[in-house]
Amino acid sequence: MKMKSYTEIVVRYAETDQMGVVHHAVYPVWFEAARTDFSAKMGITYPQMEEMGIMLPVVELQVHYLGSARYGETVQVETCVQRLTSARVEFAYRVLDQQQRVITTGKTVHAWVGKDMRPMGLRKHFPQIYEKMLEAMEPESQQPGK
């Protein structure tokens, strides 16, 4: 089963900079908002995970800027899980403007850790979440890492 989530973002004035477009450091914030949305659609919200003692700090971030977003626009963030192991999860994103042009692509890698920020085996300790994440992955990448 394949799952792609689309999250609408209305560009805020505060998100622009003096170049007249959205500042590049805003995209990771949008990715995060899209992740929140993705996890809710997947059936387990990010706040619920935090309550269960699961933290998902970002360990790696990559963004490619192909175009720009402007104040007054509504963009869409497409989100999917690209890779999953018991230790990590990788999300991929594409930001689409109103003409469906891809203006940004990105990925974030997260570690499954507990409140003490130490790694915990997701598969062992939270098998349901592991399964849900696995189901959400695209068919061609359904072989999770070891």
Give the active site residues.
17
Nearest distance from C-beta of residue 106 to its own copies, angstroms: 8
**3-state class (DSSP) for residue 107:** strand
Collapsing DSSP to helix, strand or coil, 128 comes out as: helix
Alpha helix (H) residue ranges in 4-79:
27-42, 46-51
Contact between 10 and its own copies per CB under 8 A: yes
Query: Residue 71: which of 146, 115, 131, 21 has the closest Cα?
Result: 21
Looking at the DSSP bridge assignments, the partners of residue 80 are 92
Residues 58-77 within binding reach of its own copies (CB under 8 A):
58-65, 68, 70-72
Stretch that binds its own copies, among 12-20, 80-88, 91-99, 133-141 (CB under 8 A): 12-20
Specify the residue, 29 or 102, whose C-beta has the smaller distance to its own copies.
29
Closest distance to its own copies from the beta carbon of 1 (Å): 25
